[in-house]
Amino acid sequence: MSGGSVVGYQVNRSIGRLRQQRLLVHNVLENVVATVKEQTPFQRAVAVCYDQPLDPGSSDSHSGVLEWAASGLSPEQEERLLGVIANGHQATGDRYAAENAIGRTFYFPDGTDTPPSLARVETSRRYLARDGWRRRDILLVPFWLDGRIIGQISVDDPRDGARPKPPTLAFLEEIAKVASVSLQDARNLERLTETHRLFRFLADSGITGVLVVQDERIVYSNDTAVELLGFDRDELAQMAPWWSFLHQDDRPFAWRCAEDPHYASRTVRAVRKDGREIWLAACGHRMEYRRADATACQFYDVTDRVQTEIQLKEKALRDPLTGLRNRAYFDDTIHLEISRSKRYKRPFTLMMADLRGFKKVNDTLGHQEGDRILCGIAGIFRDQLRDSDWIVRYGGDEFLFVLPETGDRLEALVERMETTVVKWGEENVPPDVRVAVDFGWAMWSPDAPLSIELLLSTADANLYERKRRKSAESVEDGAEPRRPRP
């Protein structure tokens, strides 16, 4: 087994043990809330197990929730509770202050200034007894272990409307004592706590953004995801659909993640809250979250890398002299143009051009001046064509034009470009050197498709034929007629 395989095996084994231990912890908590509801006056109960023990009375001691169970909550109350936990609720030791203690239980009457509680739910009783249980009373029964608190039961809404009596408190404390022993056996407290803290640290503090999606909503987002996307946790949790932050062309990635449990990594674009577009390397995995199926989306920012790659590719596909596309671009893109023409049943024209007698230009004026003339004529070509047309410097003094949705009637365009080039030469080139251009073209049609090689040779033959008809001018300019490509 390779080193990577060994590490993967050990990680999977650790995750398996963690899930098994958490299931045992959850079963203990489920039994606790069921017993409370069946054998005490309280109609609502929430039991939680902390991910690390709390020191009672200490504001410096804090912990997240490892597992929880509830009984008697409405669906809305349970959803609210789940949202609080998912957003990283932290319990602190000063919740369990000595002045609020009744034995080993803590009671907070309505109006008491208390730290935030998971179970602060108003009672549903319509009629309240005098000196009885008030709407916002809280009773917390901790799970004690070696003088520290590893969890608690929170109860509410007594059937009789009375404040807790000593026999009820004693029974709740007995339940908590049994739960403490069971939890210690179920979770091997310190080892599970360390594992949980490690996984939480990796999720919350890693360089990778993490979103957990469940029932088409984002139920968890780590700090890196918030920083990368610019939305706070509440905005992400309320986003509908959850993939709204993705660029519209890359949203199929989110749909594939929902369908495929092992969807491979790919690069997608996201739009931050401030409107800036960024590139993310992202992948999705199926997982279990809060005992239900979910999808974890992980991503990290690769904007700088992608932009560098785009710039390098752009540079590789452009002619450094004229700024036009080069032959490599033509070889890559002509296939896409043919596919587009097939799909939409529309022709395009490939037009070829070369400068007449350009060797004489270089011999007479020098290559530096020849380069200037090439750039000037390339600018003329750009100005005369549509945004949808593209031009390639095919080599030397040869140019290719791809003209989408254009037929073979190009005489007017060709005459205009020929005239413009001649006029530009008269104004920008010494009078003893004449600048002119010749054109030839071929049409590609879905009804009569041609191979790329035949398309090029047809355009070249057409150009040669037009040159032949102007042979008198060619001889006068000192340029020999071109031979067609085989």
List pLDDT tens digits, range 256-280: 765 665 555 678 899 999 999 999 9
323 and 469 inside one domain = yes
Average pLDDT over residues 460-480: 71
- pLDDT band at residue 78 under the 50/70/90 scheme: confident
Better-scored residue on pLDDT, 233 or 475: 233
- Residue 258 falls inside a structural domain: yes
CATH number of the domain encompassing residue 258: 3.30.450.20
- Residue 389 falls inside a structural domain: yes
347 and 377 inside one domain = yes
- Rounded CA gap, 422 and 424, in Å? 5
- Rounded CA gap, 263 and 254, in Å? 10
Q: What average pLDDT does the chain have?
A: 81
276 and 342 inside one domain = no
- pLDDT score recorded for residue 459: 92
Residue 454: is its pLDDT beyond 90? Answer: yes
Find, among 80, 51, 83, 71, the residue nearest to 151 by Cα: 51
Average pLDDT over residues 84-95: 82
The domain boundary residue, chosen from 305, 327, 356: 305
Average pLDDT over residues 460-474: 79
List pLDDT tens digits, range 152-187: 999 988 888 888 888 888 889 988 888 887 787 665
160 and 223 inside one domain = no
CATH number of the domain encompassing residue 379: 3.30.70.270
- Rounded CA gap, 14 and 191, in Å? 11
List pLDDT tens digits, range 192-233: 555 555 555 555 656 788 888 888 899 888 888 999 999 998
Q: What percent of the chain has pLDDT over 90?
A: 22
Read off the amino acid at residue 281.
A
- Residue 462 falls inside a structural domain: yes
Full residue range of the structural domain in which residue 82 is found:
3-193
- Residue 117 falls inside a structural domain: yes
189 and 219 inside one domain = no
- Residue 484 falls inside a structural domain: no
- Rounded CA gap, 484 and 459, in Å? 10
- pLDDT score recorded for residue 6: 41
- pLDDT score recorded for residue 7: 41
Q: Concatenate the DSSP letters of all residues of 464-486 into one string.
A: HHHHHHTHHHHHHTT-PPPPPP-
186 and 76 inside one domain = yes
- pLDDT score recorded for residue 2: 43
- pLDDT score recorded for residue 486: 42
Find, among 263, 259, 266, the residue nearest to 293 by Cα: 259
41 and 118 inside one domain = yes
Secondary structure string (H, E, C) spanning 427-438: HHCCCCCCCEEE
- pLDDT score recorded for residue 18: 55
- pLDDT score recorded for residue 161: 84
- Residue 438 falls inside a structural domain: yes
- Candidate from 74-88, 225-239, 251-265 with smallest mean pLDDT: 251-265
Q: What percent of the chain has pLDDT over 70?
A: 81
Average pLDDT over residues 26-54: 88
What strand order describes the sheet that includes 148-158?
Answer: 65-71, 42-54, 148-158, 138-145, 105-108, 101-102
Local structure of residue 246 (DSSP, 8 states): B
The domain boundary residue, chosen from 193, 225, 246: 193
CATH number of the domain encompassing residue 135: 3.30.450.40
The domain boundary residue, chosen from 305, 332, 366: 305
Average pLDDT over residues 11-17: 49
57 and 169 inside one domain = yes
**To which residue do tokens 């009984």 refer?**
71
Structure tokens at 436: 């002119």
List pLDDT tens digits, range 350-383: 999 998 878 888 888 888 888 998 999 999 999 9
- Residue 231 falls inside a structural domain: yes
Query: How many separate domains does the chain show?
Result: 3
- pLDDT score recorded for residue 76: 84
- pLDDT score recorded for residue 19: 61
239 and 134 inside one domain = no
278 and 406 inside one domain = no
187 and 220 inside one domain = no
169 and 96 inside one domain = yes
Distance of CA 327 to the CA centre of its chain: 35
- Residue 421 falls inside a structural domain: yes
- pLDDT score recorded for residue 165: 86
